[in-house]
Each structure stands twice: as C-alpha cells, then as structure tokens.
Amino acid sequence: MKTFPIAALMFLFCLAPAHAGKTLDQVRQRAQLVCGVSTGVIGFSSADSQGRWNGLDADVCRAIAAAVLNDPAKVKYVPRNAQQRCTALQSGEGDLLSRNTTWTLTRDASLGLHFTAVTYYDGQGFLVPKKLKITSAKQLKNAEICVQSGTTTEKNLGDWFKAQGIKVKPVVFEKFEASIKAFFSGRCQAYTTDASALAFIRSKEAPKPDDYIVLPELISKEPLGPVVRRGDDEWFAIVKWGIFALIEAEEYGITQANVEQMKSGTDPAILRLLGSAEDSGKLLGLERDWAARAIKAVGNYGEMFQRNVGSASPLQLPRGLNALWSKGGLMYAPPVR
C-alpha cells in the first residue's frame, strides 16, 4: 500500500473546490450585488444625470457583479457618508464597500472588516487660494483648514501639524458638500483631503479653478480599496481575486475589446486567467470564465484608471504610484494560478 507525502496531500487539499459562502448565496438569491459607494466623488463614485454610477470604485462593483452574476448591471449602489460607511457594512447592510476608503490598522483590525486590495494609492494634500501666496503647507500657521469629520484626513491633519510644531485650526464638517461650500465661501484658508479629490474639487467645484493651487506636499499614505465583512472567507477571496484579475489583465495586455480573442491564444497564463485552459473559478465557487466576465464588463485596471481618473477623464491624474509594478508603480497582483 502506497503512502503519499504530507506535502502532496496538502497540495491536493489546497486545490479542493470552494464551498459557496453565505454572502455569495445571498447575492445570487437576490440576483443583485449591494455596493456601498460615496455620496458623490467624481472619478471614484458619482451618479450622472441619468442616475448611472461612474468611477473607479463603481467599476469595481460592476466587475464583481459580472464575475458573480454574469451581469455588471445587477448592482444596487447605496451612497454612504464617511461616518456611516464602515458601520453600515459591519451591521450587514450591503455586500461590499467600494468607497475611496483608506486601509488602516484600526479599520482592518477592530471593525470586523477586511480590506481586499488597493485600487488607488493616494496621499493627503492641501488646496489654497493663489492670492494667499502660500507655496508650502508649512506656511499655514494659525490657518483655519476645512476638513471632513470621520475620516483619516481629519486625524492626519492634526498629527502632521503637531509633528511640525505648527498650530492650525481645523474647521470640521460632517458632509463633504458642506466642507467644500465653506472653503470656497472664504470660511477657511485651506482645504485638505486626498490629492485625487483635490484635483476634482479644483477643476469642478472652484468658481475659478485658476485662482487655486494644490500645494506640493503629501502628508500621508492613503491606500484606498474595497472592504468586506469578516466571517465569510469565500466572499473575501472572490472580491480580492476579482480585483487582482483586472490588474493581471493589464499586465498581459487583455482589454475589454480583445478579451474574447485572447481566450483562444497560446500564452498559458492568459488562457488560465480567462478560463480557457484551467477552471480557476471552481476554487472561488464561480464559473470558469469569472475573470473574463469582469474584464469584459469594465476593462483591465489600466482602462479603468484612464477612463475614470486618468488622461481620458476630467481629473487628468497621472498614473504615478498606480502604474504597474513593471512600469515603476505599485500595482502588483499575485499570480492567478
């Protein structure tokens, strides 16, 4: 009687098909993904005049719906403000939070949540009127600075200026819209939030964009990404690998337009990702073409970036840290194999 080495048995165990988790079951039963998004941040998640949600975060919701339900339109977008976004998900309201949320120790370890992956590497900056002739955040001594409450932005603001030995006066607002209105009315000498949002605020909300500048300093690291509840490892894996598949697709040159053509290519890695050679879907409790569905719905990560926040968008943000690892950025996905 032959015996198998422990390593071989463990390998076989690791390849066992996944059991469907309760979240996946619920999504399939209602035939809809409930996705928490922002109350309106252009480039990430905002509704247009027809009520269609657009942005990098909204596209993540579409990609997951496509992978799970084979229909990117089967998403219910639920706007969440900064204060309620995590508690709503934690209490069972929704399947996924895709709302420009920073990955921090506190949020990851104490709120009953899991961050799945980073979809945008950001940093906190400052917007100021040009007429003040301020060229550095260190010149904001005793300035009143508008900031939204319940955010990492509010905490970073206090920490950074305390470390610099500079006193400032935070003016805190519960709602994003109220904080913007206060800044442009002259209530504050500066406005602070993620640099990506500052680009939008300056170009779309300022009465005269050329009258304002974004200061060069970034005072924090803001890795933004989707969040799921703890306690459902199967769903955690689906969302995580759904995002990784979009990053892998860019690396392999798989696009929204050519995904069907690439299914019949010769590259083993591409065929594996698209389900032509191997059925990776069974490991996630999904169909074999789960990744191809997601890519066909929203394109690869690079396409999502360019369309929503990059050169093809009003924000015109450079790839920077969000370029692929092979092009000097931080976007790196574990291999889909």
Domains in the chain with CATH codes: 18-121+224-253+294-326 (3.40.190.10), 124-220 (3.40.190.10)
Model confidence over 282-322: pLDDT tens digits?
999 999 999 999 999 999 999 999 999 999 998 889 999 99
Which residue bears the tokens 């949020």?
Answer: 107
CA distance 165 to 173: 24
Number of other residues whose CB lies within 10 A of the CB of residue 6: 8
pLDDT at 83: 83
By the 10 Å C-beta count (0-12 exposed, 13-18 middle, 19+ buried), 98 is classed as buried
pLDDT at 20: 58
Tokens of 11: 């390998």
Look up residue 74 and give its DSSP letter.
-
Model confidence over 85-117: pLDDT tens digits?
999 999 999 999 999 999 999 999 999 999 999
Q: Max Cα separation, the chain?
A: 85
pLDDT at 52: 97
Reference 200, options 172, 174, 176; nearest CA is 176
pLDDT at 19: 55
Low-confidence ranges of the chain (pLDDT < 70): 1-20
CA distance 58 to 38: 9
Number of other residues whose CB lies within 10 A of the CB of residue 319: 17
Look up residue 124 and give its DSSP letter.
E
Which residue bears the tokens 């943000």?
Answer: 317
Under 8 Å between Cβ of 133 and 180: no
Q: What is the pTM of this model?
A: 0.88
